[in-house]
Structure 1
Amino acid sequence: MEELAELESRQTQILRRIAQLELSILRPSNNYLNIQIPATATEERLSAVLVDGGVKDFSFKRVPSDYYDWAFEARRDVLGAASIHHLCKSIVLVNTQASSDITDCSDRQNSKYYVVVVQYTARFSADTVKNFLYTLNNGKIPKKRFNLRLAPEEISQKLTGFEHNGVTCVGMKTDIPVILDEAIVKLHPDYFWLGGGEIDLKLGIRTSEFINFTKPFIVNCSGS
Protein backbone atom coordinates (compact mmCIF):
# COMPACT_ATOMS: atom_id res chain seq x y z
CA MET A 1 0.00 0.00 0.00
CA GLU A 2 2.82 2.40 0.84
CA GLU A 3 4.45 1.67 -2.52
CA LEU A 4 1.17 2.38 -4.30
CA ALA A 5 0.73 5.68 -2.44
CA GLU A 6 4.29 6.68 -3.32
CA LEU A 7 3.72 5.86 -7.00
CA GLU A 8 0.51 7.92 -7.04
CA SER A 9 2.35 10.82 -5.41
CA ARG A 10 5.10 10.67 -8.02
CA GLN A 11 2.54 10.49 -10.82
CA THR A 12 0.81 13.60 -9.50
CA GLN A 13 4.13 15.46 -9.35
CA ILE A 14 4.93 14.43 -12.92
CA LEU A 15 1.51 15.60 -14.14
CA ARG A 16 2.04 18.97 -12.49
CA ARG A 17 5.45 19.32 -14.10
CA ILE A 18 3.94 18.47 -17.49
CA ALA A 19 1.20 21.08 -16.98
CA GLN A 20 3.78 23.73 -16.15
CA LEU A 21 5.89 22.81 -19.16
CA GLU A 22 2.87 22.84 -21.48
CA LEU A 23 1.91 26.31 -20.30
CA SER A 24 5.44 27.64 -20.75
CA ILE A 25 5.56 26.20 -24.26
CA LEU A 26 2.17 27.68 -25.06
CA ARG A 27 3.35 31.24 -24.52
CA PRO A 28 6.99 31.38 -23.50
CA SER A 29 7.66 34.86 -24.83
CA ASN A 30 4.63 36.28 -23.02
CA ASN A 31 5.77 34.84 -19.69
CA TYR A 32 9.30 36.13 -20.22
CA LEU A 33 8.23 39.63 -21.19
CA ASN A 34 5.19 39.67 -18.89
CA ILE A 35 2.96 40.58 -21.82
CA GLN A 36 -0.72 39.65 -21.80
CA ILE A 37 -2.11 37.74 -24.79
CA PRO A 38 -4.62 40.03 -26.53
CA ALA A 39 -8.20 39.07 -25.69
CA THR A 40 -10.16 37.43 -28.47
CA ALA A 41 -13.51 38.78 -29.65
CA THR A 42 -15.24 36.05 -27.63
CA GLU A 43 -13.41 36.96 -24.44
CA GLU A 44 -14.12 40.66 -24.92
CA ARG A 45 -17.81 40.01 -25.61
CA LEU A 46 -18.32 37.70 -22.65
CA SER A 47 -16.38 40.03 -20.35
CA ALA A 48 -18.70 42.87 -21.37
CA VAL A 49 -21.76 40.68 -20.77
CA LEU A 50 -20.52 39.78 -17.29
CA VAL A 51 -19.61 43.34 -16.34
CA ASP A 52 -22.98 44.60 -17.60
CA GLY A 53 -24.59 41.92 -15.45
CA GLY A 54 -22.83 43.19 -12.33
CA VAL A 55 -20.19 40.44 -12.16
CA LYS A 56 -16.84 41.68 -10.85
CA ASP A 57 -14.89 38.62 -9.70
CA PHE A 58 -14.13 36.61 -12.82
CA SER A 59 -11.18 35.78 -15.06
CA PHE A 60 -10.39 34.06 -18.33
CA LYS A 61 -7.47 31.71 -18.92
CA ARG A 62 -6.18 30.23 -22.16
CA VAL A 63 -5.21 26.54 -22.04
CA PRO A 64 -3.21 24.32 -24.43
CA SER A 65 -5.02 22.55 -27.28
CA ASP A 66 -4.60 19.12 -25.68
CA TYR A 67 -6.05 20.27 -22.34
CA TYR A 68 -8.83 17.67 -22.46
CA ASP A 69 -6.28 14.88 -22.75
CA TRP A 70 -4.83 15.85 -19.37
CA ALA A 71 -5.65 14.35 -15.98
CA PHE A 72 -7.86 16.51 -13.75
CA GLU A 73 -4.88 17.31 -11.52
CA ALA A 74 -2.98 18.82 -14.43
CA ARG A 75 -6.01 20.86 -15.51
CA ARG A 76 -6.38 22.11 -11.94
CA ASP A 77 -2.76 23.24 -11.87
CA VAL A 78 -2.79 25.03 -15.21
CA LEU A 79 -5.89 26.99 -14.18
CA GLY A 80 -4.81 27.53 -10.60
CA ALA A 81 -8.09 26.00 -9.41
CA ALA A 82 -8.51 25.19 -5.72
CA SER A 83 -9.18 21.49 -6.43
CA ILE A 84 -10.20 19.13 -9.19
CA HIS A 85 -13.77 19.47 -7.89
CA HIS A 86 -13.72 23.14 -8.88
CA LEU A 87 -13.49 22.12 -12.57
CA CYS A 88 -16.99 22.26 -14.06
CA LYS A 89 -18.78 22.04 -17.39
CA SER A 90 -21.99 23.27 -18.99
CA ILE A 91 -24.11 20.73 -20.83
CA VAL A 92 -27.26 21.37 -22.85
CA LEU A 93 -30.15 19.02 -22.18
CA VAL A 94 -33.31 18.53 -24.24
CA ASN A 95 -36.62 17.31 -22.88
CA THR A 96 -37.42 14.66 -25.47
CA GLN A 97 -40.88 14.00 -24.04
CA ALA A 98 -42.11 17.59 -23.82
CA SER A 99 -45.56 18.13 -25.28
CA SER A 100 -45.67 19.30 -28.90
CA ASP A 101 -46.44 22.90 -27.91
CA ILE A 102 -43.21 23.16 -25.86
CA THR A 103 -40.59 24.03 -28.46
CA ASP A 104 -38.46 26.77 -26.88
CA CYS A 105 -37.21 28.17 -23.57
CA SER A 106 -39.89 30.77 -22.91
CA ASP A 107 -41.19 28.91 -19.83
CA ARG A 108 -38.37 28.43 -17.31
CA GLN A 109 -40.39 25.88 -15.37
CA ASN A 110 -41.21 23.77 -18.41
CA SER A 111 -38.55 24.49 -21.01
CA LYS A 112 -37.65 22.37 -24.01
CA TYR A 113 -33.97 22.91 -23.16
CA TYR A 114 -31.87 23.44 -20.04
CA VAL A 115 -28.18 24.12 -19.43
CA VAL A 116 -26.84 22.15 -16.48
CA VAL A 117 -23.56 23.13 -14.79
CA VAL A 118 -21.90 20.17 -13.05
CA GLN A 119 -18.47 19.16 -11.82
CA TYR A 120 -16.29 16.97 -14.02
CA THR A 121 -15.71 14.75 -11.00
CA ALA A 122 -19.44 14.21 -10.34
CA ARG A 123 -21.90 11.75 -11.81
CA PHE A 124 -24.85 13.65 -13.29
CA SER A 125 -28.34 12.31 -12.63
CA ALA A 126 -30.96 13.16 -15.25
CA ASP A 127 -33.63 11.46 -13.14
CA THR A 128 -33.02 13.94 -10.32
CA VAL A 129 -33.59 16.84 -12.70
CA LYS A 130 -36.72 15.11 -14.00
CA ASN A 131 -38.11 14.81 -10.47
CA PHE A 132 -37.17 18.42 -9.71
CA LEU A 133 -39.04 19.74 -12.76
CA TYR A 134 -42.05 17.58 -11.95
CA THR A 135 -42.16 19.07 -8.43
CA LEU A 136 -41.45 22.57 -9.75
CA ASN A 137 -44.63 22.34 -11.80
CA ASN A 138 -46.59 21.15 -8.74
CA GLY A 139 -47.32 17.81 -10.37
CA LYS A 140 -49.59 19.46 -12.94
CA ILE A 141 -47.52 18.03 -15.79
CA PRO A 142 -47.28 14.22 -15.94
CA LYS A 143 -43.87 12.91 -14.95
CA LYS A 144 -43.71 11.04 -18.27
CA ARG A 145 -43.50 14.44 -19.97
CA PHE A 146 -40.00 14.94 -18.56
CA ASN A 147 -37.13 13.00 -20.10
CA LEU A 148 -33.87 14.94 -20.06
CA ARG A 149 -31.17 13.81 -22.48
CA LEU A 150 -27.95 15.35 -23.80
CA ALA A 151 -28.87 17.58 -26.74
CA PRO A 152 -27.23 16.73 -30.09
CA GLU A 153 -24.05 18.73 -30.62
CA GLU A 154 -25.48 20.68 -33.58
CA ILE A 155 -28.53 21.69 -31.50
CA SER A 156 -26.34 22.73 -28.58
CA GLN A 157 -24.19 24.89 -30.84
CA LYS A 158 -27.21 26.46 -32.53
CA LEU A 159 -28.78 27.39 -29.20
CA THR A 160 -25.67 28.57 -27.38
CA GLY A 161 -23.41 29.75 -30.19
CA PHE A 162 -20.56 27.72 -28.71
CA GLU A 163 -18.99 24.50 -29.94
CA HIS A 164 -18.29 21.33 -27.96
CA ASN A 165 -15.94 21.89 -24.98
CA GLY A 166 -16.43 25.64 -25.34
CA VAL A 167 -20.04 25.77 -24.11
CA THR A 168 -20.75 28.26 -21.37
CA CYS A 169 -23.98 29.70 -20.00
CA VAL A 170 -22.70 33.28 -20.37
CA GLY A 171 -23.65 35.18 -23.52
CA MET A 172 -25.61 32.37 -25.14
CA LYS A 173 -27.60 33.02 -28.32
CA THR A 174 -30.70 31.69 -26.56
CA ASP A 175 -31.79 32.50 -23.03
CA ILE A 176 -31.76 28.89 -21.83
CA PRO A 177 -32.70 28.28 -18.17
CA VAL A 178 -29.69 27.26 -16.09
CA ILE A 179 -29.55 24.46 -13.52
CA LEU A 180 -26.59 24.62 -11.14
CA ASP A 181 -25.62 21.49 -9.26
CA GLU A 182 -25.87 22.10 -5.52
CA ALA A 183 -22.46 20.49 -4.99
CA ILE A 184 -20.83 23.47 -6.72
CA VAL A 185 -22.53 25.89 -4.34
CA LYS A 186 -20.95 24.01 -1.41
CA LEU A 187 -17.39 24.27 -2.75
CA HIS A 188 -14.75 26.11 -0.74
CA PRO A 189 -13.40 28.46 -1.80
CA ASP A 190 -16.48 29.59 -3.70
CA TYR A 191 -14.81 30.18 -7.06
CA PHE A 192 -15.12 27.61 -9.84
CA TRP A 193 -14.09 27.13 -13.47
CA LEU A 194 -16.18 26.33 -16.53
CA GLY A 195 -16.08 26.72 -20.30
CA GLY A 196 -15.28 30.18 -21.61
CA GLY A 197 -16.87 30.23 -25.06
CA GLU A 198 -13.93 28.72 -26.93
CA ILE A 199 -12.43 25.24 -26.69
CA ASP A 200 -9.16 26.51 -25.19
CA LEU A 201 -10.64 29.34 -23.12
CA LYS A 202 -11.81 28.82 -19.53
CA LEU A 203 -13.82 31.10 -17.28
CA GLY A 204 -13.31 31.34 -13.53
CA ILE A 205 -16.07 33.02 -11.54
CA ARG A 206 -17.19 33.66 -7.96
CA THR A 207 -20.10 31.32 -7.22
CA SER A 208 -22.32 33.94 -5.59
CA GLU A 209 -21.89 36.28 -8.54
CA PHE A 210 -22.58 33.46 -10.99
CA ILE A 211 -25.84 32.77 -9.16
CA ASN A 212 -26.86 36.44 -9.17
CA PHE A 213 -26.05 36.66 -12.87
CA THR A 214 -27.63 33.48 -14.26
CA LYS A 215 -30.48 33.09 -11.74
CA PRO A 216 -30.16 29.30 -11.88
CA PHE A 217 -32.27 26.59 -10.36
CA ILE A 218 -30.01 25.05 -7.71
CA VAL A 219 -30.54 21.30 -7.71
CA ASN A 220 -28.79 18.37 -6.05
CA CYS A 221 -28.38 16.52 -9.34
CA SER A 222 -25.14 14.57 -9.03
CA GLY A 223 -23.17 12.10 -6.97
CA SER A 224 -19.49 11.32 -6.56
Structure 2
Amino acid sequence: MSNHQLEEKQNSILNKLKSLEERLNNITPPSIITDNQKRIGKVCEEIGLEHELVRVPSPYYTWTLDQRASYLDAFSPEYLLKSIILENTECTNTDTSIPTNSRYYCVIIQYTTKIQSHKIFKFIKNMNSNESAKKFHFTLAQSAESLTGFEYNAVCPIGTTVKIPIIISKHIMDLPRGVPVFLGGGEVDLKLVVDIHSFKEKVESSGNTVFITDVIDTSDNNNNNTENDI
Protein backbone atom coordinates (compact mmCIF):
# COMPACT_ATOMS: atom_id res chain seq x y z
CA MET A 1 0.00 0.00 0.00
CA SER A 2 1.42 3.38 -1.02
CA ASN A 3 1.83 6.25 1.40
CA HIS A 4 -0.96 8.09 -0.40
CA GLN A 5 -3.34 5.14 -0.07
CA LEU A 6 -2.39 4.75 3.59
CA GLU A 7 -3.05 8.43 4.21
CA GLU A 8 -6.45 8.20 2.51
CA LYS A 9 -7.39 5.17 4.61
CA GLN A 10 -6.34 6.94 7.81
CA ASN A 11 -8.37 10.00 6.87
CA SER A 12 -11.38 7.80 6.14
CA ILE A 13 -11.10 6.15 9.55
CA LEU A 14 -10.75 9.54 11.27
CA ASN A 15 -13.82 10.88 9.44
CA LYS A 16 -15.85 7.84 10.47
CA LEU A 17 -14.71 8.26 14.09
CA LYS A 18 -15.67 11.94 13.99
CA SER A 19 -19.09 11.09 12.56
CA LEU A 20 -19.59 8.44 15.26
CA GLU A 21 -18.59 10.93 17.95
CA GLU A 22 -21.11 13.47 16.63
CA ARG A 23 -23.89 10.86 16.66
CA LEU A 24 -23.00 9.85 20.21
CA ASN A 25 -23.02 13.50 21.30
CA ASN A 26 -26.53 13.81 19.89
CA ILE A 27 -27.88 11.03 22.09
CA THR A 28 -25.69 11.39 25.15
CA PRO A 29 -26.13 14.36 27.50
CA PRO A 30 -23.00 16.07 28.85
CA SER A 31 -21.77 14.71 32.18
CA ILE A 32 -20.67 18.09 33.55
CA ILE A 33 -21.91 19.48 36.86
CA THR A 34 -22.10 23.25 36.56
CA ASP A 35 -22.11 25.90 39.27
CA ASN A 36 -25.73 26.65 38.36
CA GLN A 37 -26.66 22.99 38.81
CA LYS A 38 -25.01 22.99 42.24
CA ARG A 39 -26.89 26.17 43.15
CA ILE A 40 -30.31 24.80 42.16
CA GLY A 41 -29.54 21.60 44.04
CA LYS A 42 -28.61 23.61 47.12
CA VAL A 43 -31.84 25.63 46.94
CA CYS A 44 -33.84 22.38 46.80
CA GLU A 45 -31.95 21.00 49.79
CA GLU A 46 -32.46 24.19 51.79
CA ILE A 47 -36.23 24.02 51.40
CA GLY A 48 -36.32 20.25 51.93
CA LEU A 49 -37.49 19.41 48.42
CA GLU A 50 -36.71 15.91 47.18
CA HIS A 51 -35.45 16.31 43.65
CA GLU A 52 -33.21 15.14 40.87
CA LEU A 53 -31.39 17.18 38.24
CA VAL A 54 -30.97 15.41 34.91
CA ARG A 55 -29.47 16.52 31.61
CA VAL A 56 -30.83 15.94 28.13
CA PRO A 57 -28.89 15.67 24.83
CA SER A 58 -28.54 18.64 22.49
CA PRO A 59 -31.28 17.64 19.96
CA TYR A 60 -33.87 17.32 22.77
CA TYR A 61 -35.94 20.34 21.69
CA THR A 62 -36.15 19.08 18.11
CA TRP A 63 -37.98 15.96 19.31
CA THR A 64 -41.74 15.54 19.65
CA LEU A 65 -43.19 15.64 23.15
CA ASP A 66 -43.72 11.88 23.01
CA GLN A 67 -40.04 11.40 22.22
CA ARG A 68 -39.01 13.73 25.04
CA ALA A 69 -41.25 11.93 27.50
CA SER A 70 -39.88 8.57 26.39
CA TYR A 71 -36.28 9.71 26.80
CA LEU A 72 -36.95 11.07 30.30
CA ASP A 73 -39.03 8.03 31.23
CA ALA A 74 -41.90 10.38 32.03
CA PHE A 75 -45.32 8.82 32.53
CA SER A 76 -46.65 10.85 29.56
CA PRO A 77 -46.06 14.23 27.86
CA GLU A 78 -48.48 15.78 30.38
CA TYR A 79 -45.68 15.47 32.96
CA LEU A 80 -43.36 17.74 30.99
CA LEU A 81 -43.70 21.29 32.35
CA LYS A 82 -42.35 24.72 31.51
CA SER A 83 -42.16 27.97 33.44
CA ILE A 84 -43.07 31.23 31.73
CA ILE A 85 -42.43 34.67 33.19
CA LEU A 86 -45.32 37.06 32.59
CA GLU A 87 -45.32 40.79 33.19
CA ASN A 88 -48.31 42.96 33.98
CA THR A 89 -47.14 45.96 31.97
CA GLU A 90 -49.88 48.18 33.46
CA CYS A 91 -49.28 47.14 37.07
CA THR A 92 -49.35 49.89 39.69
CA ASN A 93 -46.43 48.13 41.39
CA THR A 94 -42.91 47.94 40.01
CA ASP A 95 -41.76 44.76 41.74
CA THR A 96 -42.92 41.39 43.12
CA SER A 97 -43.31 42.33 46.79
CA ILE A 98 -47.13 42.11 46.72
CA PRO A 99 -47.95 38.60 45.45
CA THR A 100 -51.62 39.36 44.82
CA ASN A 101 -50.70 42.28 42.56
CA SER A 102 -47.17 41.55 41.43
CA ARG A 103 -45.68 43.02 38.30
CA TYR A 104 -44.28 39.59 37.44
CA TYR A 105 -45.52 36.01 37.78
CA CYS A 106 -43.90 32.68 37.03
CA VAL A 107 -46.59 30.55 35.40
CA ILE A 108 -46.09 26.79 35.23
CA ILE A 109 -47.98 24.91 32.53
CA GLN A 110 -47.75 21.60 30.71
CA TYR A 111 -46.01 21.56 27.34
CA THR A 112 -49.19 20.02 25.94
CA THR A 113 -51.16 23.18 26.78
CA LYS A 114 -51.16 26.89 26.02
CA ILE A 115 -51.73 29.86 28.33
CA GLN A 116 -54.85 31.96 27.93
CA SER A 117 -53.76 35.39 29.12
CA HIS A 118 -57.34 36.52 29.77
CA LYS A 119 -57.66 33.84 32.48
CA ILE A 120 -54.54 35.25 34.14
CA PHE A 121 -56.10 38.71 33.89
CA LYS A 122 -59.37 37.57 35.51
CA PHE A 123 -57.60 35.69 38.30
CA ILE A 124 -55.36 38.61 39.32
CA LYS A 125 -58.07 41.23 38.77
CA ASN A 126 -60.42 39.33 41.10
CA MET A 127 -57.82 39.66 43.87
CA ASN A 128 -57.68 43.40 43.22
CA SER A 129 -61.32 44.37 42.87
CA ASN A 130 -60.63 48.03 43.66
CA GLU A 131 -58.22 48.39 40.75
CA SER A 132 -59.35 49.40 37.28
CA ALA A 133 -59.25 46.68 34.64
CA LYS A 134 -56.93 49.00 32.71
CA LYS A 135 -54.24 48.24 35.29
CA PHE A 136 -53.90 44.64 34.13
CA HIS A 137 -52.29 43.57 30.87
CA PHE A 138 -50.18 40.41 30.82
CA THR A 139 -47.51 39.58 28.29
CA LEU A 140 -44.21 37.70 28.15
CA ALA A 141 -41.67 39.53 30.31
CA GLN A 142 -38.90 41.10 28.26
CA SER A 143 -36.65 41.18 31.32
CA ALA A 144 -37.12 37.50 32.20
CA GLU A 145 -33.42 36.66 32.05
CA SER A 146 -32.39 39.39 34.49
CA LEU A 147 -35.30 38.55 36.82
CA THR A 148 -34.56 34.84 36.91
CA GLY A 149 -30.88 34.53 36.07
CA PHE A 150 -31.87 31.87 33.52
CA GLU A 151 -31.86 32.05 29.74
CA TYR A 152 -34.85 31.47 27.47
CA ASN A 153 -36.23 27.92 27.53
CA ALA A 154 -34.32 27.24 30.75
CA VAL A 155 -36.37 28.98 33.45
CA CYS A 156 -36.42 27.19 36.80
CA PRO A 157 -39.25 28.39 39.08
CA ILE A 158 -36.99 28.34 42.15
CA GLY A 159 -33.56 29.85 42.67
CA THR A 160 -34.49 32.93 40.65
CA THR A 161 -32.58 36.19 41.05
CA VAL A 162 -35.78 37.85 42.28
CA LYS A 163 -38.42 35.93 44.25
CA ILE A 164 -41.37 35.72 41.86
CA PRO A 165 -44.88 34.56 42.82
CA ILE A 166 -45.77 31.28 41.13
CA ILE A 167 -49.00 30.33 39.38
CA ILE A 168 -49.43 26.61 38.69
CA SER A 169 -52.02 25.44 36.19
CA LYS A 170 -54.69 23.58 38.16
CA HIS A 171 -54.54 20.76 35.60
CA ILE A 172 -51.01 19.98 36.78
CA MET A 173 -52.23 19.62 40.36
CA ASP A 174 -54.65 16.94 39.12
CA LEU A 175 -51.64 14.71 38.42
CA PRO A 176 -51.21 11.97 41.04
CA ARG A 177 -48.93 12.57 44.00
CA GLY A 178 -45.64 10.74 43.84
CA VAL A 179 -45.30 10.64 40.05
CA PRO A 180 -42.43 12.93 38.98
CA VAL A 181 -42.82 15.93 36.72
CA PHE A 182 -40.04 17.59 34.74
CA LEU A 183 -39.42 21.32 35.13
CA GLY A 184 -36.73 23.53 33.66
CA GLY A 185 -33.55 23.31 35.72
CA GLY A 186 -31.98 26.67 34.95
CA GLU A 187 -30.08 25.53 31.86
CA VAL A 188 -31.42 24.55 28.45
CA ASP A 189 -30.33 20.93 28.81
CA LEU A 190 -31.07 20.58 32.55
CA LYS A 191 -34.34 19.31 34.04
CA LEU A 192 -35.53 19.55 37.63
CA VAL A 193 -37.45 16.37 38.54
CA VAL A 194 -39.89 16.70 41.45
CA ASP A 195 -43.30 15.69 42.75
CA ILE A 196 -45.42 18.76 41.95
CA HIS A 197 -47.45 18.45 45.15
CA SER A 198 -44.33 18.38 47.30
CA PHE A 199 -42.90 21.21 45.20
CA LYS A 200 -45.89 23.42 45.98
CA GLU A 201 -45.76 22.65 49.70
CA LYS A 202 -42.02 23.19 50.07
CA VAL A 203 -41.98 26.40 48.03
CA GLU A 204 -44.83 27.81 50.12
CA SER A 205 -43.05 26.80 53.32
CA SER A 206 -39.96 28.66 52.11
CA GLY A 207 -41.92 31.93 52.02
CA ASN A 208 -42.87 32.23 48.36
CA THR A 209 -46.48 32.44 47.20
CA VAL A 210 -47.98 29.72 45.00
CA PHE A 211 -51.38 30.15 43.37
CA ILE A 212 -53.38 27.36 41.72
CA THR A 213 -55.86 28.33 39.03
CA ASP A 214 -57.10 27.54 35.52
CA VAL A 215 -54.82 29.32 33.03
CA ILE A 216 -55.22 27.09 29.98
CA ASP A 217 -56.61 27.96 26.57
CA THR A 218 -59.26 25.36 25.72
CA SER A 219 -60.48 26.98 22.51
CA ASP A 220 -58.74 24.37 20.37
CA ASN A 221 -56.89 21.10 20.76
CA ASN A 222 -53.43 21.86 22.09
CA ASN A 223 -52.40 18.23 22.59
CA ASN A 224 -50.48 18.21 19.34
CA ASN A 225 -46.98 17.40 20.56
CA THR A 226 -45.66 20.82 19.68
CA GLU A 227 -44.34 23.55 21.93
CA ASN A 228 -46.78 26.38 22.60
CA ASP A 229 -46.24 29.83 24.07
CA ILE A 230 -48.66 32.47 25.27
TM over 0.5: yes
Q: After the TM superposition, which of the residue ranges 59-68 and 158-167 deviates more from structure 2? A: 59-68
Superposition TM-score, scaled by structure 1 size: 0.80
Identical-pair percentage: 34
For residues 141 and 175 of structure 1, what CA distance do their matches in structure 2 show? 24
Q: What are the residue-to-residue correspondences of 1:42-61 with 2, within 5 Å?
A: 42-56=36-50, 58-61=51-54
The structural deviation recorded for 1:205 is 0.6
Unaligned runs of 5+ in 1: 1-20, 31-36
Establish whether residue 169 from structure 1 lines up as the match of residue 160 from structure 2.
no
Residue in structure 1 matched with residue 214 of structure 2 by the alignment: 220
Q: Does 1:191 align with 2:193?
A: no
Greater strand share, structure number: 1
Q: Distance in 1 between matches of 2:168 and 2:134?
A: 23
Name the CA distance, whole Å, in 1 between partners of 2:25 and 2:55.
Answer: 9
Q: How far, CA to CA, are the matches of 1:141 and 1:74 in structure 2?
A: 45
Deviations 1:52-102, CA, capped at 9 Å, x for gaps? 10112x111111112111100111011111100111100000101113xx1
In structure 2, give the amino acid aligned to 1:83.
S
Question: When the two structures are aligned, how many residues end up with a matched partner?
Answer: 190
Q: Which residue of 1 aligns with 2:200?
A: 211
Counterpart amino acid of residue 165 in structure 2: P
1:72 to 48, 55, 65: 65
Matching residue of 2:225: none
Please give the alpha-carbon distance, in whole angstroms, between the structure 1 residues aligned to 2:24 and 2:61.
13
Letter in 2 for 1:48: K
**Partners of 2:117 and 2:77 in 1: CA distance:** 22
Higher helix share: 1
Structure 2: which amino acid aligns with 1:151? A
Q: What is the distance in 1 between the residues matched to 2:54 and 2:70? A: 12
Distance in 2, matches of 1:179 and 1:105, equals: 13
2:140 to 143, 150, 174: 150
Structure 1 vs Structure 2 CA RMSD: 1.9
Checking the alignment, whether the CA contact within 8 Å between 2:47 and 2:203 is kept in structure 1 is no
2:108 match: secondary structure: strand
Q: Does residue 110 of the first structure (1) align with residue 112 of the second (2)? A: no
Q: Separation in 1 of the partners of 2:66 and 2:25?
A: 14
The one-letter code of the counterpart of 2:47 is G
Contact 1:72 1:84 in 2 (8 A): yes
Superposed CA deviations along residues 4-53 of structure 1, whole A, max 9, x for unmatched, are xxxxxxxxxxxxxxxxx8688416xx9xxxxxx35221111111101110
User: Which aligned runs of 4 or more in structure 1 are off by greater than 6 angstroms?
Assistant: 21-24
Q: Distance in 1 between matches of 2:25 and 2:185?
A: 18
Alignment partners' CA distance in 1, 2:203 and 2:134: 28
Q: Aligned AA for 2:108?
A: V
Residue from 108, 111, 125 that aligns with 1:120? 111
User: 2:160 is aligned with what amino acid?
Assistant: M
Q: Distance in 2 between matches of 1:91 and 1:172?
A: 12
Aligned equivalent of 1:14: none
